[in-house]
Structure 1
């Protein structure tokens, strides 16, 4: 697989002052066989197949959203192989990511037990510019199997204890809650971006250079 360095949203040129185009890198992580590739394909291509090849290392797909009249968002969804949590390459794959979907198979308890380890690895290796955690959504995938091994109460408790903002029961096969989960992530990425821009604006206003200008102007 060829590895390309993702552009950051700061690398995307604005076509005009009233329209902006952003690029967000979103990770899709979890154990082998939980349906990460199926989720990515369903969301980006609108298709489902039960015959996906095993992901080696990482792969990514693009989804373009016309968020509003002034904003176009290009999402890079990075599908990280299930065995990569034990490898040193995750730090490379995680770089520049601004959000993550953490996936487990709701019919297999062992994949839910692994979620905490994936979460720890993720938070150890990446944060937002202000040091806070990136937005995360937890996906209880393969609900179409009708074999639930993890009760809702346990999932809710896990999210609360680990400060995960939201979770969804999903099915790539039935196209259930995939769009909703990704919409939640994008909303939270945009909120974090706005807050970061506000903080940067405050820093500029409080900078020594700015204070000197204010003194000069007051004279």
Structure 2
């Protein structure tokens, strides 16, 4: 299994336009950052092999979807075939955070029951700069609380710096692997599992936060 890259899981990246989905995928698969990436038209995908435990390797197929409203029906069709979803918002764009609610409704109605979701607050490298200009920003505790409300995983990331990008994929990958082995990994069980696995401040659960 280590030689073949292990089981393949399809993970759909979604979220508003310009939240950093393409940069997230590029960072995950190429370990570098492109400042100017054209908006995705339709869907793009790449494969990434991850070592989720010392003895367990999986391959994730990352599907980068378009954030524009006109592509929403196309995007939702990919949720039906997804094993997991990464939903991104931009911590310097509160509107993209508010729209997480709409995205979660689309994911829930379009994907199979129990499909795990990782909510990522991206562009944390820009938050202090925006806050310094007195521009509204989304704080970590707000993102963690929203994710907890949905029973979703949560992490703050920076595609520009590479911060927590691979960690987010590995955390979701471990849940997918565990779900595959037990077939009991409903989305509402994720809070319980994430408490055991994620001790770091980047993955706050409601209990750790309070």
Q: Normalising by structure 2, what TM-score?
A: 0.76
Aligned partner of 1:184 among 171, 176, 179: 171
Q: Distance in 1 between matches of 2:2 and 2:158?
A: 37
Indicate how the Cα distance of structure 1 residues 144 and 15 shifts in structure 2: closer, same or farther if over 3 A, else same: closer
User: Following TM superposition, where does structure 1 have runs of at least 4 consecutive aligned residues deviating by more than 6 angstroms?
Assistant: none
Q: Report SS of the residue matched to 1:75.
A: strand
Indicate how the Cα distance of structure 1 residues 108 and 74 shifts in structure 2: closer, same or farther if over 3 A, else same: same
- Residue of structure 1 equivalent to 2:98: 113
Offset, 1:154: 2.0
Deviations 1:52-84, CA, capped at 9 Å, x for gaps: 111001111111234567644221000111015
Structure-to-structure mapping, 1:77-116, within 5 angstroms: 77-84=62-69, 87-116=72-101
Indicate how the Cα distance of structure 1 residues 15 and 88 shifts in structure 2: closer, same or farther if over 3 A, else same: same
Assess if the C-alpha contact under 8 Å between 1:43 and 1:179 holds in 2. Answer: yes
Show structure 2 runs of 5+ residues with no match.
132-136, 185-210
Check if 1:173 corresponds to 2:160. yes
Q: Report SS of the residue matched to 1:82.
A: coil
Deviations 1:115-167, CA, capped at 9 Å, x for gaps: 1101110110111xxx3x21111111111112351123322221222111x21
- Residue of structure 2 equivalent to 1:63: 48
Q: Report SS of the residue matched to 2:49.
A: strand
Q: Distance in 1 between matches of 2:51 and 2:149?
A: 35
Q: Indicate the larger mover: 57-66 or 169-178.
A: 57-66
Check if 1:32 corresponds to 2:20. no
Q: Distance in 2 between matches of 1:70 and 1:177?
A: 21
Assess if the C-alpha contact under 8 Å between 2:79 and 2:111 holds in 1. Answer: yes
Check if 1:153 corresponds to 2:141. yes
Q: Distance in 2 between matches of 1:121 and 1:113?
A: 14
Q: Distance in 2 between matches of 1:56 and 1:115?
A: 21
Indicate how the Cα distance of structure 1 residues 190 and 144 shifts in structure 2: closer, same or farther if over 3 A, else same: same
Indicate how the Cα distance of structure 1 residues 136 and 85 shifts in structure 2: closer, same or farther if over 3 A, else same: farther
Which structure's relative contact order is higher, taking Cα pairs within 8 Å and 6+ residues apart? 2
